Amino acid sequence: MVAEKSKNPMCKQPRYVYDSPSRLSNILRSYGKKTINKYMKRGVPACGDTIKTHEWVSEMYCLLCRTLKKKPWPLQPELTYGFLKLLGIGCRYSMKSLKSSIIPSLYSLSQTNTKLPVDIEVRQAVMQANREIQTAHMKMFNLNIKTRGGANMLVSKEKEPLIVGDLERIISSIPDWVVEKPREASLFIFALSTGSRSITCANIKLRDIVRVYAKENSSFLKITFNLVCGKNIRMDDHCVTLEGDICSKSSLNFIWWFEQYLVQEFGLSLTRFDEWNLKDLGWERVWGLRKGAMRVRIQKRAKQAGYPEKLFGFHSFRSGFLCSALLKIGDSPYKRESVLETASIIAKWKFGGPTEEKYLNRTSKATIIANRTNFPSDVLESDNPYDFDLSKPEVFHNMKINQSEWKIDSIIVTLRFYILQVIKFACWKLGYPSSYVSKLHSMAATKFMKEHDIKRKKTQTTIQACKEYVLQLVKTSGGDLIDIANEFLSQIDDYLDGKIILDVKDFEPRKKLREERTINPITNCKSRIHWTRMEDDILIKELMDGKSFADIGEKLKIRSANSCRDRVRNIIKQLTNEKAKESSGILMNLRRNTSRSKQ
């Protein structure tokens, strides 16, 4: 039976080849034979990142070969072995970089240059180098000299566990005027309460909040999250539940901070969970941060709270989760087994396994008083083998914690971020162009100055004068930053609410014409708006008169400033052709006026 042909006259293949909604069909629409043939050749990388990796590794390897005056290809066992050990031990490259990038790149380069597979002796030399590098890394990275409290100590280079006392100190040190405080506080408390990794927290979406439960006449809520992404598990189905008082503001109250964050970021409230209509919003990530950003956030906040730089990482929450659980049962050591079993269920450890014991060893040694286990009580302070005094952050980490390092000047950064976010959202909602964000910001600053009788110096802009006034206001009276920002935005409430509409008529023809563009059925891209001869004449004439690209774009209406600049470049390329030597005078004038318009 012959397959039915596509109704699209541009497609000569049967329907099942191009019309099926698959990634391959979309790729075949846009790729040509040259691009496809790249994937058919062995040893030739087709990805741009892979090509860059090959260039990086080839440059290092060939540099070593030139230094030792040896031929790079084919790979020699001794030379490859020494190259890897030099990178792993001498240059301190990680095992992840060696195994995932450098070694595969070496093999691929060897096959490309010699058209032969890599010898078994070379592969055995690589395996031996990996074992020796890994052993050396354990000795180098597990023990290292660090400075704490002014004295050199031999300590572990691994990140310290972040216990509950540390988190309370960090969150309480963040000022309330920091707009990102609800996001960060809810994220940090969630990670410490569940022992979740950064990859798990980064992939939690709004649709993964599966249940919100509250008793009648009670302000305590219980929220259940479905953690779908774990270590090496992309489709996990693991539920955890957290509770807290939604009406009580506390440094460690997850529900209060999470409620504040949801209202601020998404306009959702936990008290109206049954009325949520997420649709596409359900695929939004809850905290909207990547793994690296989460690690940087906790390191930055810990340093501002007085801790040494890079003492913690995001994985410190996972180790601190188990450490804090052990510290909590100090009054009743007989509950140790049940608490550890519950912790292994929450964090998905094997109960009593080596991974769980790894986190327990340091906490047990740090908080247990040895002679309380067998000495009589009349010579001891207490019979409890665990001591809460040893669980304080200063004693637990054996360091002196400095005072908070928050600077008052960072208020301005936070204020500007909050105001611009509100104006951007309003412009998007009301259909204003993005260029109106700065226009509304400047308008609000001008009205704010008139209302508060702020005198602007000649060397200062309007917005800068408002910044200095806000700094002075916060320093003297300790005002709330959000209230100041809302007072600032109240000067343009009529514009943000849509009661007063800004003039956007100039943008309507361009927007309408762009929406009416047809879609190419083969490339699946919108067709371009071709330049007419009349538009080219106006462009050259205005440019010769010394007009800027922005002014020319406003006159042409359907063309932007960037589009005008690109068109001039294309015209110059055409005039540089051999057939256009007669137009050399026009070419010189165009180049001169183009450089003048940029300035």
CA gap 306, 77 in Å, rounded: 50
Residue range 158-406 forms a domain whose CATH class is mainly alpha
Closest CA to 347 of 332, 363, 359: 359
Structural contact between residues 94 and 103, judged by C-beta atoms closer than 8 angstroms: no
Angle at 439 between CA 435 and CA 442, to 5 degrees: 145
Domain with CATH 1.10.150 in the chain: 48-142
Please report how the helices 354-367 and 316-328 are oriented relative to each other, as an axis angle in degrees rounded to 10: 60
Structural contact between residues 282 and 207, judged by C-beta atoms closer than 8 angstroms: yes
Residue 368 carries which DSSP code?
A: B
Please report how the helices 354-367 and 336-347 are oriented relative to each other, as an axis angle in degrees rounded to 10: 130
**What per-residue confidence (pLDDT) applies to 218?**
85
Structural contact between residues 587 and 576, judged by C-beta atoms closer than 8 angstroms: yes
3-state SS, residue 233? strand
CA gap 575, 587 in Å, rounded: 6
Structural contact between residues 70 and 79, judged by C-beta atoms closer than 8 angstroms: yes
Structure tokens given for 178: 């920091």
Give per-residue pLDDT as tens, 144-186.
434 333 333 333 446 788 888 899 999 998 887 777 889 999 9
Please report the DSSP string for 504-549 in residue order. -GGGHHHHHHHHT--B-TTT--BPP-PPPHHHHHHHHHHHHTT--H
Structural contact between residues 349 and 356, judged by C-beta atoms closer than 8 angstroms: yes
**What per-residue confidence (pLDDT) applies to 81?**
92
CA gap 242, 186 in Å, rounded: 11
Give the residues across from 526 on adjacent strands. Answer: 519
**What per-residue confidence (pLDDT) applies to 369?**
80
Q: Which amino acid is at 512?
A: K
At which residue do the structure tokens 């079993």 appear?
A: 341
CA gap 411, 433 in Å, rounded: 28
How many Cα atoms within 13 Å fall on the side-chain side of residue 426?
A: 24
Structure tokens given for 341: 């079993």
**What per-residue confidence (pLDDT) applies to 188?**
95
Look at the chain and count its residues: 599
Helix (H) or strand (E) holding 148: strand 144-148
Task: Put residue 232 in one of left, alpha, beta given phi > 0 → left and psi -120 to 50 → alpha.
Answer: left
Alpha helices in 247-290 (DSSP H): 254-265
Low-confidence ranges of the chain (pLDDT < 70): 1-32, 35, 38, 41-49, 140-158, 232-235, 330-334, 361-366, 407-410, 456-460, 474-482, 502-528, 557, 575-599
Backbone angles phi, psi at 498, to 5 degrees: 85, 5
Structural domain 48-142, CATH architecture: Orthogonal Bundle (1.10)
**Residue 477: burial class (beta carbons within 10 Å; 0-12, 13-18, 19+):** exposed
Structure tokens given for 122: 């070379």
**What per-residue confidence (pLDDT) applies to 298?**
92
Please report the DSSP string for 14-72 in residue order. BHHHHSS-SHHHHHHHH--HHHHHHHHSTT---SHHHHHHHHHHHHHHHHHHHHHT---
Domain with CATH 1.10.443.10 in the chain: 158-406
At which residue do the structure tokens 């006026």 appear?
A: 593
Q: What is the largest CA-CA distance in the chain?
A: 109
Structural contact between residues 318 and 230, judged by C-beta atoms closer than 8 angstroms: no
